Amino acid sequence: MRAYQGARQQTTPVWFMRQAGRSLPEYRELRVGTRMLDACLNPELASEITLQPVRRHGVDAAIFFSDIVIPLRLAGVDVDIVAGKGPVLGKPIRTAADVAELTSIDPASLDATVFAPIAEAVRRTVTELETIGAGDTPLIGFAGAPFTLAAYLVEGGPSKDHIRARTLMHADPAAWAALMDWTADVTGAFLRAQVLAGASAAQLFDSWAGALSLDDYEQYAAPASARALTHVRDLAYPVAAAGVRSVPIVHFGVGTGELLTAMHDVGADVVGIDYRIPLDEASRRLGHTVPVQGNIDPAILDAPWPVLEAHVLDVLERGKSAPSHVLNLGHGVPPETDPAVLTRLVEFVHGI
């Protein structure tokens, strides 16, 4: 949390996106017979899965186990996670009439009662984290950015180019704006529920923002991301001898090297950097004034250890150009990753 606030730490903190699940045998065993979204909405399961990598790897933060489409599911949208494919919508949102039907669901209806399973899972996790190690491991909440959610809604599932979503934003700007406002409020409420229940930081995850030009991002996506973050921007917590401190916000996107400044300007404190751009260049584009997170190439996790070690040292060195740096992957942990490599990597970083 201090690194997120811009204070460089003697030891660079490290955690991994998608560290909860996928590569862990204990996760796969726990998930047998339970569908992904059902697991996310089971407080006991979601909490246990969140805690597994903290126990195994000794990472410096837990990331809440959930999925970006959970708030859509809770709003009544017909969506499911299909193995090997990802989120799939029962009815894509392709026209102004479709948007009107979807947005007739009032985001305000997603109240504490609806988010009760999420809040309970967060509370369970925070309580358990106080008993692990030194008891100072924070929980990071996360939610999908409005553009990424809107892209799934319009495409009906994963897409390589998100052309239907990009077409809608230009063909019917009014319908697009209504869709983005709705996704911003739905995903913002999801993130707020996690922070109110005890998460110490919030990460907005824009998987598909890299499909946009800078102009399109600034005009058609950034305002909604800023709107989503207003749901947590006002939240703070007491700090000993320091009054109160704002809950730090991390903004991460894939393939977003050209969008970094705009992504910071929506209200983020920290910008996550993927593996496609050197960390020092990313920091330069951010004016060397913004804390950064990233940017180990996930592909190198399966390389020989000396190759991975050299890569990590290079990332750490380049990260010195920013006020502070939280080491992470430039995307999520690949499912086939050997968990022992991640444990060794954490130990290596902590030993520097």
For position 160, what pLDDT does the model report?
86
pLDDT band (50, 70, 90) for residue 263: very high
Average pLDDT of every residue of the chain: 95
Average pLDDT of 45-63?
Answer: 97
The domain ranges of the chain are 25-351
The active-site residue, picked from 60, 67, 185, 269, is: 67
Q: Which amino acid is at 97?
A: A
**Active-site entry in 27, 73, 124, 152:** 152
Give the C-alpha distances (Å, rounded to integers) separating 72 from 79, 93, 334.
Answer: 7, 13, 25
pLDDT at residue 352, as a whole number: 92
Cis geometry, peptide bond prior to residue 295 (ω within 30 degrees of 0): yes
Is 152 one of the annotated active-site residues of the chain? yes
Over range 88-113, report the average pLDDT: 96
For residues 49 and 200, give the distance between their C-alpha atoms in angstroms, rounded to a whole number: 18
Top CATH class, 25-351 = alpha beta
Distance CA 334, CA 273 (A): 17
Q: Is 22 a catalytic residue?
A: yes
Angle at 151 between CA 149 and CA 155, to 5 degrees: 125
335 Cα distance to chain centroid: 17
Question: What residue type is assigned to position 10 of the chain?
Answer: Q
Long-range contacts of 240-248 (CB under 8 A, 24+ apart): 245/5, 247/195, 247/199, 247/200, 247/201, 247/202, 248/1, 248/4, 248/5, 248/201, 248/202
**Segment 275-289 mean pLDDT:** 97
Give 184's pLDDT tier (boundaries 50, 70, 90): very high
Rounded Cα distance, 43 and 5, in Å: 30
Half-sphere exposure of 149 (CA within 13 A, CB side): 31
Q: Is the pLDDT of residue 37 over 80?
A: yes
Note whether 302 and 336 are within 8 A (CB).
Answer: yes
Is the pLDDT assigned to residue 238 strictly greater than 80? Answer: no
Of the candidates 296, 261, 277, 13, the residue with the CA atom closest to the CA atom of residue 136: 13
Task: Tell me if residue 67 is catalytic.
Answer: yes
Give this prediction's pTM.
0.96
Ramachandran sector of residue 187 (left: φ over 0; alpha: ψ -120 to 50; beta: rest): alpha
* Strands (E) located in the chain: 62-63, 79-82, 86-89, 139-144, 201-206, 236-239, 243-246, 249-253, 270-272, 292-296, 325-329
Q: How far apart are CA 231 and CA 146, in angstroms?
A: 13
Average of pLDDT values for 311-338? 97
Q: What is the pLDDT confidence band of residue 134, given thresholds at 50, 70 and 90?
A: confident
Question: End-to-end distance of the chain based on CA atoms, in angstroms?
Answer: 20
Of these residues, 4, 18, 220, 285, which one is catalytic? Answer: 18
pLDDT of residue 245: 78
Distance CA 306, CA 291 (A): 28
DSSP 3-state of 244: strand
Catalytic residue, from 8, 31, 123, 344: name it: 31
pLDDT > 90? residue 85: no
Select which of 22, 123, 245, 344 is catalytic: 22
CA-CA distance, 148 to 228, in Å (whole number)? Answer: 12
Structure tokens at 197: 């229940």
pLDDT for the residue numbered 242:
65
Q: How confident is the model at residue 241 (pLDDT cuts 50, 70, 90)?
A: low
